[in-house]
Amino acid sequence: MLVDNGVNGDSRVQKQARSAAEAGFDVTLLGRSPDNLEHHWTLGPAKVRLVPMKIDLSKRPHEFRRHPLTAPLAYPPTGVHAQRAQAVKAWKADLKVKRAQNPDGVNRMVLRAEGLAARAAGRWVAIRRGQMVRARDARKSLETPSDKLYTWFWQRAMGDRSWRRIEPGLWDWELAYGDVIDELRPDLIHANDFRMLGVGARAKIRAASEGRTIKLVWDAHEFLPGVRPWTQHARWRIGHMAHEREYAPYADAVTTVSDDLAKMLQESHGLAETPKVMLNAPAFEHGPEDDEDVPGVDLRAMCEVGPDVPLVVYSGAAAPQRGLDIMVDALPKQPGVHVALVTNNHQSGYMMGLMRKAEELGVRDRVHLLSYVPHWQVVPLLSGATLGVIPIHHWPNHEIALITKFFEYSHARLPLVVSDVRTMSATVRATGQGEVFKAEDTEDYLRAVQAVLADPERYRAVYDKPGLLDTWTWDSQAQVLIDVYRGLLDQA
């Protein structure tokens, strides 16, 4: 099983690996190491192995070159600019000491001349560094005329194989995982999402040349044309889509996260069968073997608030398109309400900016940053909240699926406040388990939250309806995966 992250924090792949292993398959889950070391642990009977990965090929040739025409004075991109800037600061610091040692003006003219020279050197360093930064930023988006010509040429010359030129960083994943997969000699590869599709397909091709058969399952988490690019440059989506088109035909079976996405994948790749849908529902049975050694989780204790304090929670990745800003923006008009953000990477630019905003609005003391917990503890943690919020913006992939936190909030029996993205808002309106607001509209968000806070038990009562949560469990979803595996291996 392949995934393009460090496994921790990815509940879907953790549940897949453990459930497959408990069903009798010998499972090794390969992920990316956070450092230069290999890491090993287990998820139930499944083995986890994180492999080191270099990212040298993700860098562009122009990042290593000077720009003599557009930035003739720029420093080379070697890091020398930082050394020069520090050298000038050290020079100026030494001058301060010299002046302190000569309070009576001895050698005053010499020191004044040296001070002028130091300031001139500092100005020269700033000019050269400024040119370097501007030249680098001009190419960051890869939308200069020469960049667009490069992209166009390789698309025309190589077709779907053009990702090798347009997005060569995809080879970094192959170089990290490929040899490890060949050593394992698997009968089946489960490739999670678009980066791992190519890694799995190439392993299948190599195995076939040796007379071995590998079955390839592609688990598509996203509809790539609708993904917000993960980097700023214009080639990211073009290159990844070409890569996906090249290797999609090698998949023996495709699974995904929603019915809408299944239909879109079938149409865009001409798949013979509609992909099987596997919802990312909670897995209550995946706790540790010895519960006594694992501390419990109490959301209100972590936030240091009492049982009667209105506590609004968001759980999941933090990024601008996730819409967390609205929860902070609304707090000045929500006296007494507290917000708990259970997110990743609290030191990211986005999260630090959000906390600065909370400070400026005078509500920082009512915003609580919490770290992820193991996936089997998420529902117990969330159950301490008054309501759960999903404020995501309108992006194509946000419209087509019920996302992980929707199921987690539901099993925590939380009233929901969700933005009006298509599938999720339609479900909430149909079940009555919460309120819908217009995405990015603070006033409408305030209305929806107030409606829930006025009578939360009305929304919680919906979960008493027989059968509502039965299919939103991992137990029922894991069987889809097991059936796919067994069906493919029976064909081998």
- Supply the angle between the helices 193-209 and 170-184 in degrees, to the nearest 10: 50
R_g over Cα of the chain: 27
Q: Say whether both 370 and 438 belong to one domain.
A: yes
Helices (H), 280-377: 299-303, 325-330, 349-361
- 348 with 452, same domain: the answer is yes
Same domain, 260 and 300: no
- CATH code for position 52: 3.40.50.2000
3 assigned to some structural domain: no
- Tell me, yes or no, whether 273 and 312 share the same domain: no
66 and 45 within one domain:
no
> Cα(489)–Cα(482) distance, rounded to whole angstroms?
11
Helix (H, G, I), strand (E, B) or coil at 205: helix
Residue position matching structure tokens 């796919």 = 484
Tell whether 108 and 136 lie within a shared domain.
yes
Domain end point (choices 277, 303, 324): 277
pLDDT for 108: 80
* Distance separating alpha carbons of residues 419 and 10, to the nearest angstrom: 23
Identify whether the C-beta of residue 263 lies closer than 8 Å to the C-beta of residue 256. no
Residue 147 included in any domain: no
Q: State which residues form the domain around 220.
A: 11-56+158-277
Residue 90 falls inside a structural domain: yes
The pLDDT value given to residue 106: 63
Within a domain: 374? yes
Last-in-domain residue among 79, 109, 141: 141
Q: 176 and 103 in one domain?
A: no
Q: Last residue of some domain: 223, 247, 277?
A: 277
Residue 464 CB neighbours (<10 A): 8
Contact 405, 315 (CB under 8 A): yes
Contacts of 248 (CB under 8 A, 6+ apart): 197, 218, 254, 269, 271
Domains: count for the chain: 3
Same domain, 307 and 224: no
The distance of Cα 220 from the centroid of its chain, to the nearest Å, equals 15
303 lies in a domain? yes
- Tell whether 356 and 455 lie within a shared domain: yes
Indicate whether 488 belongs to any domain.
Answer: no
Both structure tokens of 357:
């905003």
The reply to whether 52 and 66 lie within a common domain is no
Q: What are the angstrom distances between the C-alpha of 196 and each of 123, 233, 328, 366?
A: 48, 21, 36, 41
Gap between the Cα atoms of 217 and 96, Å rounded: 67
Please check whether residues 213 and 88 belong to one and the same domain.
no
- Check residue 416 and report its DSSP letter: E
Q: Map tokens 């398109």 to a residue.
A: 321
Q: Tell me the average confidence (pLDDT) per consecutive run of 10 residues in the chain, 492 residues long.
A: 93 94 97 95 96 84 71 83 90 87 76 90 90 78 84 96 94 96 97 97 97 97 86 88 97 94 95 94 70 73 95 94 96 97 91 96 97 90 96 90 92 96 95 97 98 96 91 89 96 72
Residue 163 and residue 265 share a domain: yes
In a domain, 51, yes or no: yes
Q: In 3D, which of 460, 450, 302 has the Cα closest to residue 381?
A: 302
- Is residue 490 in some structural domain? no
